[in-house]
């Protein structure tokens, strides 16, 4: 049963409203002043307050402000004999649902109260519907029903409702970027800018201007003023991928921007206010980098307000059949062929594999299998090429790999990864489990040696 608190210093009007609303099926209590109403609110909860505007002591609009502080979702009607458009608008801005001018009929009060509870019921249904749609959307974005994925989806539902900074961790290929997109798409910023920057791919000398922008003539090559990615992302969500690759010298400036939500372009002293939800991601041991003074502890704490961990595929093997079906559907549609089936023995082989490249590796494998199988209806064992096959034994005596200097082995692995990814440095670095910057440094070293 809905509970209503009637507040009015006019005893006759107060009693009439209380009796009328009681007879309409509501539980109604009454107070003769704003202060008495607050005292009652400290001990009891209500769905709706109906209050006179002009009362001795605390006015109705003051009671409205105090009540909304304690119960933001409570309904509130203001009643006044001095009704003007300005007064009504001010009441609505403060949070009142309705403004009723005297004199009014009892029927009018009954009708407006009934209308309010119809509205609040629809609002609650809409809220529940949005929650269900959000869960459905997350399930479609992040395929999987393993315990690790259920926990991840649950945590995304929680944090998406806020603007708290998020730090996402996971191995290369686990789906960190999809996780970021899920947070953004299910937040109040959905539809606003969603930008991402790979911190390892930005030259150190251009970091500040890339993030915060620059003015014309601020450095050689700055032929015109340019917004930074923070300004471009105003109102939306910014992913700082591979955050641990940000130069140490830039980390203090980044911390200040995240804390103050203001940027200063290179070559300027003007602070520009911004509104950006920052999400960072990394596949490295950040705590170890903090211990080694390679990453600022205060920046890590500021970014790690709500940590999310994307589990590796080897820890969610139960999701493999679902993921495989998903990618079979995706690539059958992409290449306009009938959806293929995968034989049980082939699936067993996939289940036994440890997936060092995680979801990205599985996605690439299924795409190749769809192409290799051509017009066949099923995917056979021969169509499944597992890259980086894992040795059955780690002993030196049983390995078929010829002995060679470690430096030479490193070079071969790097060039093999580049060949595998068609010279795509970012993908090659992810395959090798190193950063793009490290890969570039190694290639530069190889060039100098030659």
DSSP 388-435: SPPPS---TTT--SPP--HHHHHHHHHHHHHHHTTT-HHHHHHHHTS-
Residue 395 lies in a domain: no
Within this chain, do residues 327 and 305 fall inside the same structural domain, yes or no?
no
Q: Is residue 45 one of the residues assigned to a domain?
A: yes
pLDDT 10s digit of each residue in the chain, 450 long?
889 999 999 999 999 999 999 999 999 999 999 999 999 998 888 999 999 988 999 989 899 999 988 888 899 998 887 766 676 677 777 788 888 888 888 888 899 899 888 888 777 766 555 554 444 454 445 777 788 888 998 898 889 888 999 999 999 889 898 899 989 988 889 889 999 999 988 888 889 999 999 898 888 778 888 999 999 999 999 999 999 999 998 999 999 999 999 999 999 999 999 999 999 999 899 999 999 999 999 999 999 999 999 999 999 999 899 899 888 988 888 888 888 888 888 888 899 888 988 988 998 999 988 888 877 888 888 888 886 444 443 333 444 445 566 677 778 888 888 887 778 888 788 777 787 888 888 888 877 776
Q: How far apart are CA 268 and CA 389, in angstroms?
A: 54
Q: Report d(CA 160, CA 153) in Å as an integer.
A: 10
**Residue 294 and residue 190 share a domain:** yes
Dist. CA 183–CA 326, nearest whole Å: 21
Please check whether residues 80 and 174 belong to one and the same domain.
Answer: no
Residue 295 lies in a domain: yes
> Residue 421 falls within a domain, yes or no?
yes
Domain termination residue (choose one: 261, 278, 309): 309
Tokens of 292: 């080694």
Cα–Cα distance between 5 and 137 in angstroms, integer?
40
- E-assigned strands of 208-358? 213-214, 226-227, 237-241, 262-264, 271-273, 277-282, 306-309, 341-342
Asked if residues 297 and 253 have their Cβ atoms less than 8 Å apart, the reply is: no
Is the domain of 304 the same as that of 317?
A: no
Can you give the residue range of the structural domain that contains 422?
Answer: 406-449
CA–CA distances in Å: residue 168 to residues 358, 375, 421: 16, 41, 25
Q: DSSP letter string over 131-150?
A: HHHHHHHHHHHS---SHHHH
For the chain, state the CA radius of gyration: 31
Q: The domain spanning residue 335 has which CATH number?
A: 1.10.8.60
Last residue of a domain, one of 96, 123, 150: 123
353 & 410 share domain: no
351/418 same-domain check: no
Please indicate, yes or no, whether residues 232 and 279 belong to a single structural domain of this protein: yes
* 3-state secondary structure (DSSP) of residue 306: strand
Q: What is the pTM of this model?
A: 0.58
In a domain, 66, yes or no: yes
Residue finishing a domain among 93, 123, 153: 123
Residue for token pair 């996780």: 179
Number of domains in the chain: 4
Q: Is 385 exposed, middle or buried (0-12, 13-18, 19+ CB in 10 A)?
A: exposed
Same domain, 336 and 440: no
Q: Are residues 52 and 103 in the same domain?
A: yes
In a domain, 259, yes or no: yes
Q: Do 152 and 91 sit in the same domain of this protein?
A: no
75 touches 49 (CB < 8 A)? yes
- Say if 400 falls within a structural domain: no
Domain assignment present for residue 133? The answer is no
Residue keyed to tokens 């959905």 = 190
What is the per-residue pLDDT for 404? 60
Six-digit token pair at 339? Answer: 């959806």
pLDDT of residue 264: 94
pLDDT confidence of residue 260: 93
């Amino acid at each position: 049963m809905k509970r209503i608190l009637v507040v009015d210093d006019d005893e006759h009007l107060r009693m009439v409203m209380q009796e009328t609303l009681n007879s309409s099926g509501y539980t109604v209590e009454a107070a003769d002043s704003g202060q008495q109403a607050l005292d009652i609110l400290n001990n009891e909860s209500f769905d709706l307050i109906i209050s006179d505007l002009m009362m001795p002591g605390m006015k109705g609009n003051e009671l409205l402000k105090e009540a909304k502080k304690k119960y933001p979702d409570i309904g509130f009607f203001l009643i006044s004999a001095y009704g003007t458009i300005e007064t009504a608008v001010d009441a609505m801005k403060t949070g009142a649902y309705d403004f009723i001018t005297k004199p009014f009929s009892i029927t009018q009060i009954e009708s407006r109260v009934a209308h309010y509870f119809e509205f609040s019921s629809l609002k609650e249904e809409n809220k529940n519907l949005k929650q269900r749609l959000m869960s459905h959307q997350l399930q479609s974005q992040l395929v999987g029903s393993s315990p690790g994925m259920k926990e991840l989806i649950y945590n995304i539902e929680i944090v998406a409702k806020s603007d708290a900074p998020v730090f996402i961790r996971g191995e290369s290929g686990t789906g960190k970027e999809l996780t970021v997109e899920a947070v953004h798409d299910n937040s109040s910023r959905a539809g606003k800018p969603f930008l991402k920057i790979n911190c390892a791919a930005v030259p150190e000398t251009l970091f500040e201007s890339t993030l915060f922008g620059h003015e014309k003539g601020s450095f050689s090559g700055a032929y015109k003023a340019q917004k930074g990615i923070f300004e471009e992302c105003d109102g939306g969500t910014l992913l700082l991928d591979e955050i641990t690759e940000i130069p140490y010298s830039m980390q203090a400036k980044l911390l200040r921007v995240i804390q103050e939500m203001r940027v200063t372009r290179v070559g300027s002293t003007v602070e520009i206010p911004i509104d950006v939800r920052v999400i960072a991601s990394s596949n490295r041991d950040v705590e170890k980098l903090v211990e080694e003074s390679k990453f600022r502890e205060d920046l890590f704490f500021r970014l790690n307000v709500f940590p999310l961990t994307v589990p590796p595929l080897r820890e969610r093997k139960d999701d493999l059949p679902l993921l495989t079906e998903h990618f079979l559907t995706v690539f059958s549609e992409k290449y306009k062929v009938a959806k293929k089936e995968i034989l049980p023995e082939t699936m067993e082989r996939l289940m036994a594999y440890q997936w060092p490249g995680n979801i990205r590796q599985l996605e690439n494998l299924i795409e190749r299998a769809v192409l290799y199988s051509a017009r066949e209806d099923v995917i056979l064992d021969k169509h499944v090429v597992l890259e980086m096959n894992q040795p059955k034994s780690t002993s030196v005596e049983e390995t078929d790999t010829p002995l060679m200097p470690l430096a030479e082995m490193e070079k071969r692995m790097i060039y093999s990864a580049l060949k595998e990814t068609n010279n795509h440095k970012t993908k090659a670095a992810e395959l090798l489990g190193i950063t793009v910057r490290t890969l570039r440094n190694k290639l530069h070293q190889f060039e100098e040696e030659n």
